[in-house]
C-alpha cells in the first residue's frame, strides 16, 4: 500500500495490485492430455527420447540399395549392371539381403536391407527398363510383382550415400523437450515422432466471465430507456480465449446481491478463475462487493475478496481474492467497458497465463514517441492508460479517441495501451513513453 491517499482512503499502485495477484494465483495442477488437446499448453516434465530417430538406417531417396564396390566407377557409358532381388517398401519388415552384384529397389524411408551400403537414386539408373536414365519408378500398381531382372546404375555411390543413419536425428535417452516448453506444432510433431500419444501439461484454465448491472440488455434484444447493451461479458470472454483460457460467458446479472451470490456459487464448479465486471465502486447499488464478502466457505482461511482503489485511470476500483471451498481466484473489475478491458489486460491476462504455467505472463512493451497535436494531460498520482495506435516502423504511437472510460468505439481502433506514469501530468508531443502492445 502506498502512502498516496484519496479522500482519506488508502490507494494501491498498479504494480502492488498486480504483485498481490501474481503472488496468490498458482499454476494449475498438471493433467495428461492427448497431443492435440495439449496444443498451446506448458509441458510439466522433461521429455526423454525413448527410441532413437530414425529408429533404423533408412533410405532418403527412391532408388536402389547397393554395395559400394559394385557401383565403383559406374557411368552412363559403362553402367554397373546389377541383379534386382526385389522391393523394399517403406514400412516393410525387410527380409531381403543384398549380396555382391545385387541391388534391392528401395523407397524413401524404407529400411536399408542387410548387405547394402548405399542407395543410388532411381534417377541415376535406367530403372530396370534397359534404356537411358529414368525420372522415376514404374508404379507398383502397374507391375505388382515388384522389381526384378537387371538395373543399370550410371553413377557410383559413396558408403552411406542417401542413407539416414539410425539415431542421426535424436538418440534414445536424449532430452527431447524441456519442462516449461510451450507445445506448438513442431513440438507436438516431435512428441508424436517419439511415440507419445499423451503428454503431461498444465491445462488451459477455465475462466467464467460475468457482467453485472441492471442496466444491461443482451445484444439483439430491444433497448428500453436507461438501458445499454452488455458488451463486457463478450469482450472479456474473447480476451480470455485470446490469453489461452477456455472461457465461459455468463450473461449480465442484475444488481441484486442474492442473485449474484447464487450465480457465482453455481459457476464455481466450472471455474479456475472468476471475473466479474461492474458493481465495485462507491454507489448504493454496487452489490458485487456486498455479494462477494459472503460467497463460499467463510470459515476457511485464505478466502475473501478485498476491494481497493488503485492509482490508475481508467480502472480505479478493483476487487481481488479467492472464494469458495477451493479458494477459486476472483477478479472483480469495474464496469465501464474501457476500464474493464484495460483491467483485464493489466491483471486478468497475467493471472490466466500464470494459471497456465507460462514463464512470460506479460504483454510485450516497447518505448515509442508520442505523436499528437496538443500535449496530453494526465491526472496527478495516477498511472494512465490511453488507447493508442502503434507504428512499429516509425517507433511512434498516437492516441486513439479520448481518455474517457466509455469510449468503446475508439478502443476497437486501438492496438496498444500508452502508459503515462503516475508523476506525469502533461506529456508533450515527441515524448518517449512506454507502450503495451495488444497484438
Q: Binding to a second copy (CB under 8 A): which residues in 96-135?
A: 105, 107-111, 122-123, 133, 135
Consecutive H or E run containing 193: helix 185-193
| Helices and strands (DSSP H and E) totals, the chain | 9, 30
Interface segment toward a second copy; rule CB under 8 A; list 152-160, 178-186, 294-302, 370-378: 178-186
Residue 49 Cβ, how far from a second copy at the closest point, in Å? 8
Give residue 169's region: left, alpha or beta (phi > 0; psi -120 to 50): alpha
Distance from C-alpha of 207 to C-alpha of 166, rounded to nearest angstrom: 46
Q: Considering only residues 225-254, where is the footprint of a second copy by CB under 8 A?
A: 225-239, 241-242, 249
Q: Does 422 bind a second copy (CB under 8 A)?
A: no
Number of residues in contact with a second copy, rule: CB under 8 A? 113
Please, are residues 391 and 366 in contact by the beta-carbon 8 Å criterion?
no
Site of grid cell 497475467: 350
Q: Decide the pairing of beta strands 80-88 and 102-106.
A: parallel
Q: Of the listed pieces 73-81, 263-271, 298-306, 334-342, which binds a second copy according to CB under 8 A?
A: 334-342
Across 224-382, the runs of DSSP E, i.e. the strands, are 228-229, 246-253, 273-277, 304-310, 312-313, 317-323, 328-333, 365-370, 376-377
Query: Measured from the CB atom, is 235 or 330 closer to a second copy?
Result: 235
**238 Rama class: left (phi>0) / alpha (psi -120 to 50) / beta:** alpha
Please report how close the Cβ of residue 356 comes to a second copy at its closest, in angstroms. 17
Binding flag, residue 394, a second copy (CB under 8 A): no
Residue 301 CB, nearest distance to a second copy (Å)?
Answer: 27
Interface characters, 282-301, with a second copy (x: CB under 8 A): xxxxxx--x-----------
Identity of the residue, 82 or 407, whose beta carbon is nearer to a second copy in the bound complex: 407
Annotate 60-88 with b (16+ C-beta within 10 A) or e (fewer).
ebbbbbbbeebbeebeeeebbebebbbbb
Name which position in 324, 337, 357, 399 contacts a second copy (CB under 8 A).
337
Among 20, 56, 363, 391, binds a second copy (CB under 8 A): 56
**Contact call for residue 336 and a second copy (CB under 8 A):** yes
Q: Are strands 9-12 and 5-6 parallel, antiparallel or unpaired?
A: antiparallel
Report 179-218 residues binding a second copy (CB under 8 A): 184-198, 213-216, 218
Looking at 27, 68, 140, 437, which residue binds a second copy (CB under 8 A)? 140
User: 13, 277, 403, 405: which one contacts a second copy (CB under 8 A)?
Assistant: 405
Position among 62, 70, 126, 422 found at the interface with a second copy (CB under 8 A)? 62
5/26 with CB nearer a second copy: 5
All three cell numbers of 416? 496498444
Q: Longest C-alpha distance within the chain, in Å?
A: 100
Residues 345-384 that bind a second copy (CB under 8 A): none
| Binder among 16, 20, 83, 169 for a second copy (CB under 8 A) | 169
Strands, sheet with 102-106, edge to edge from the N-terminal-most edge strand = 118-121, 63-66, 102-106, 80-88, 150-153
Amino acid at each position: 500500500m502506498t502512502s498516496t491517499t484519496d479522500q482519506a482512503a488508502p490507494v494501491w499502485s498498479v504494480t502492488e495490485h498486480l504483485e498481490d495477484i501474481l503472488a496468490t494465483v498458482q499454476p494449475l495442477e498438471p493433467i495428461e492430455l492427448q497431443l492435440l488437446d495439449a496444443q498451446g499448453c506448458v509441458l510439466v516434465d522433461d521429455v526423454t527420447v525413448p527410441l532413437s530417430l530414425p529408429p533404423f538406417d533408412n533410405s532418403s531417396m527412391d532408388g536402389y540399395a547397393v554395395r559400394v564396390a559394385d557401383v565403383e566407377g559406374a557411368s552412363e557409358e559403362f553402367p554397373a549392371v546389377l541383379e534386382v532381388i526385389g522391393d523394399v517398401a517403406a514400412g516393410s519388415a525387410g527380409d531381403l539381403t543384398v549380396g555382391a552384384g545385387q541391388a534391392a529397389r528401395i523407397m524413401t524411408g524404407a529400411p536399408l536391407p542387410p548387405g547394402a551400403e548405399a542407395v543410388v537414386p532411381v534417377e541415376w539408373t535406367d530403372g530396370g527398363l534397359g534404356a537411358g536414365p529414368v525420372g522415376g519408378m514404374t508404379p507398383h500398381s502397374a507391375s505388382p510383382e515388384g522389381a526384378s531382372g537387371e538395373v543399370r546404375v550410371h553413377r557410383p555411390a559413396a558408403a552411406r550415400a542417401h542413407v539416414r543413419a539410425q539415431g542421426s536425428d535424436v538418440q534414445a535417452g536424449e532430452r527431447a523437450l524441456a519442462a516449461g516448453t510451450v507445445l506448438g506444432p513442431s513440438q507436438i510433431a516431435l512428441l508424436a515422432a517419439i511415440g507419445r500419444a499423451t503428454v503431461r501439461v498444465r491445462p488451459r484454465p477455465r475462466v467464467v466471465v460475468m457482467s453485472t448491472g441492471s442496466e444491461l440488455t443482451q445484444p439483439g434484444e430491444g433497448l428500453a430507456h436507461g438501458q445499454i447493451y452488455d458488451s463486457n461479458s463478450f469482450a472479456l470472454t474473447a480476451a480470455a480465449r485470446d490469453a489461452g483460457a477456455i472461457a465461459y460467458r455468463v450473461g449480465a446479472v442484475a444488481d441484486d446481491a442474492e442473485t449474484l451470490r447464487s450465480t457465482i456459487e453455481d459457476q464455481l464448479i466450472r471455474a479456475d478463475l472468476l471475473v466479474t465486471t461492474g458493481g465495485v465502486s462507491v454507489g448504493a447499488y454496487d452489490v458485487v462487493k456486498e455479494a462477494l464478502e459472503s460467497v463460499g466457505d467463510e470459515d476457511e482461511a485464505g478466502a475473501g475478496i478485498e476491494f481497493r482503489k488503485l492509482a490508475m485511470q481508467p480502472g480505479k476500483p478493483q476487487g481481488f481474492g479467492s472464494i469458495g471451498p477451493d479458494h477459486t481466484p476472483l477478479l472483480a473489475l469495474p464496469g465501464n467497458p474501457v476500464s474493464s478491458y484495460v483491467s483485464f489486460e493489466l491483471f486478468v491476462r497475467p493471472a490466466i497465463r500464470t494459471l497456465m504455467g507460462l514463464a512470460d505472463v506479460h504483454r510485450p512493451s516497447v518505448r515509442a514517441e508520442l505523436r499528437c497535436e496538443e500535449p496530453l494531460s494526465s491526472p496527478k498520482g495516477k498511472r494512465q492508460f490511453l488507447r493508442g495506435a502503434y507504428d512499429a516502423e516509425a517507433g511512434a504511437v498516437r492516441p486513439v479517441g479520448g481518455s474517457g472510460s466509455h469510449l468503446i468505439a475508439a478502443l476497437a481502433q486501438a492496438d496498444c495501451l500508452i502508459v503515462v506514469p503516475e508523476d506525469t501530468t502533461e506529456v508533450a508531443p515527441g515524448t518517449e513513453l512506454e507502450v503495451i502492445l495488444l497484438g
